[in-house]
Chains A and B, each alone.
Chain A
Amino acid sequence: MTPPRLSLPVIAAATGLLVLASLLVGHGALGDGELARTFLELRATRALAAFMSGAALAIGGVALQALFRNPLVDPSILGTTAGASLGGQLAIVAFQLAPGWARPAFLVPEMVLPIGCLAGAVMALAILLAVIRRTRSELAVLLTGFLLSTLFLGIGALLVSMVQDSFELGRAIIAFTLGGVGGAGTRHVLLGLPLVAAAIGALWLWARPLELLLSGEDEALTLGVDVPRVRFWTVAWVAVGTSAAVAIGGNVGFVGLLVPHVMRPVVGVELRRLIPATALVGGAFLVVCDLAVRAAPLRAELPLGVLTGLIGGPLFLVLVLRSQREAAHG
């Protein structure tokens, strides 16, 4: 039985309509012409930021799941988002504390964060790959990711508490650490857009050899795949996408686990279709999540990562239990 397949144009159209509709929802009324324009601009920037962040994290999940031949991994579970987050925190601190002469003129403040995040994401994935080269166990991959994640978040928390002496620095680092696309300005979005677009495009171009890796390294090699090169570029582009997502929206977890899992029955597992479909739906998913935190009747806005964690955490447990059951019956 093949499940019904949705075509990419249908998914794209539905996604576009959803994002447009999200612009109409919010606390401010759109009655006043001048004010409505400002509201819509703010909401559009925010929606675009959420969309990019979600798209990048979702395809990060697809790519890592293929690379590790494991449907239970994604950038947050493997510690990539935590690494990017720690890199961002270190970059903020380093930039603020560095004396004026040590800051190159070309380095605008908005660029510091993505660069730091990228360094952190690359570091996290490099450590992970180095550790798991010695093992093929799925459990070892998950445990290593969990340990890295915990370690990076711990170091980040230590850093946050150490810089509270400076009010400005403390505020900046806490705002970034909590995550959320509320603070994303037009410049953030413009800076992140090419990175996310490049990551999606590049991973789509690597999709075919990556799909051959689903048969394991030996079979892929004998079919002509340059396995080390595919592995390197997949990790590199996942790091680029994840770091852009974290720089824009903070440490948002589980998107890369949830969205591909929902999309596989809908569009199939072929990566050429799954990557664009997952990017679209991942983007739409975070737009809706952001809408929920924006519209929720809470005094303080709920961080985006908290909401995705509340949805993704239980789902992860369900997936783990199901995979255990399949392994037991398989």
Chain B
Amino acid sequence: MVELDPPDAPHPDVALAVQQVRVRFGATTALDDVSFTARYGGITAILGPNAAGKTTLLRAIAGLIPHDGAVVVAGIDVARLERRERARRIGYVPQHSRLDAPLSVFGVVAQGRYAHRGGVDALRAADRAAIEDALQRVDALDLAARSFAALSHGQRRRVVIARALATGARLLLFDEPTASLDVGHALAFLRLARELADAGAAVVVVLHGLDDARRFADDGVLLDAGQVVTAGPIARVVAAEPVREVYGVELIPDAALGFREAT
């Protein structure tokens, strides 16, 4: 584990510092010189039109694709971390999990403890507590004994989120979590993201809807063609000028339909 030198050391609130990240796929440059920060206790939305590089950026942060530049989590360049150490610091939830096996829900969430206990050790009290806490947070404690394969789409998603929470990571990455959800489920997810952030996590989420981002995120990163157009507080990112520049549309303040969860 290598700590950065004091002059580079970020503010203690900074969970993630993406520094001049560049990703190439063959001759095409998917991400070019991307830099931004995300903080603990906040939701940072990664925004942009189709093919802007949002998912690529999230995958680069998660360590799934090779890149130039640095991804610094809690002051440590993750390239220098051993893979299990990295898994304990970064939780990643893909848009669609490929898991489809009839494992027990408890067993699936227990997979999140792999980075702590390895391939052979039995579950310790701390592991059990983390698993139950994770299930509780996504409101799935009552599903623990069920078979994952028998769950609904929405339940599966909550269990996969619980698995990421069980890693104990304080940086959580979500790839388009609301893309295939109806408005009710999308709101439920965004409320969960807010709860996680309020509990001290740094939530970085790829979103398609600018209205959702505006209402739920604290900060935003607007990408276009692999480059950052603007990054910072969400009100400055989802604003008339950058939206016109990137999407070619006019923002109408307070014009969209608004929804909230029924009480």
Residue ranges of A at the interface with B (Cβ–Cβ < 8 Å): 2, 69, 205-209, 211-212, 214-216, 218-219, 221-226, 268-270
Partner of B83, one of A207, A208, A226: A226
B249: CB under 8 A from chain A? Answer: no
How many pairs of residues, A versus B, come closer than 8 Å at their CB atoms? 73
Chain B, interface size: which category? Answer: 20 to 34
Interchain Cβ contacts under 8 Å between A and B, 7 examples: A215-B99, A218-B92, A219-B97, A222-B87, A223-B112, A224-B86, A224-B87
Could you tell me the distance in whole angstroms from the C-beta of A105 to the nearest C-beta in chain B? 40
B163: CB under 8 A from chain A? Answer: yes
B47: CB under 8 A from chain A? Answer: no
Partner of A223, one of B101, B102, B120, B167: B167
* Cross-chain contact B88 with A221 (CB below 8 angstroms): no
Could you tell me the distance in whole angstroms from the C-beta of A224 to the nearest C-beta in chain B? 3
B91 proximity list for chain A (CB < 8 A): 222
A216 CA to B100 CA in the complex, in Å?
Answer: 10
B74 proximity list for chain A (CB < 8 A): none
B99 proximity list for chain A (CB < 8 A): 214-216, 219
B36: CB under 8 A from chain A? Answer: no
Could you tell me the distance in whole angstroms from the C-beta of B105 to the nearest C-beta in chain A? 12
A219 CA to B87 CA in the complex, in Å?
Answer: 10
B94: CB under 8 A from chain A? Answer: yes
* Cross-chain contact B119 with A208 (CB below 8 angstroms): yes
* Cross-chain contact A223 with B94 (CB below 8 angstroms): no
* Cross-chain contact B111 with A212 (CB below 8 angstroms): yes
Interface residues of B in 203-258 (CB under 8 A from A): none
The 9 A-B residue pairs with the shortest CB-CB distance, nearest first, are: A224-B87, A224-B115, A216-B98, A224-B84, A222-B92, A215-B99, A208-B119, A214-B101, A269-B101
Partner of A270, one of B59, B92, B103: B103
A268 proximity list for chain B (CB < 8 A): 102, 104
* Cross-chain contact A214 with B103 (CB below 8 angstroms): yes
* Given known A-B contacts A2-B147, A205-B119, A223 and B103 have beta carbons under 8 A apart: no
Given contacts A212-B114, A222-B90, A224-B84, 19 further A-B contacts (CB under 8 A): A205-B119, A206-B119, A208-B120, A212-B111, A214-B100, A214-B101, A215-B97, A216-B98, A218-B59, A219-B99, A221-B64, A224-B83, A224-B88, A225-B83, A268-B104, A269-B101, A269-B102, A270-B104, A270-B107
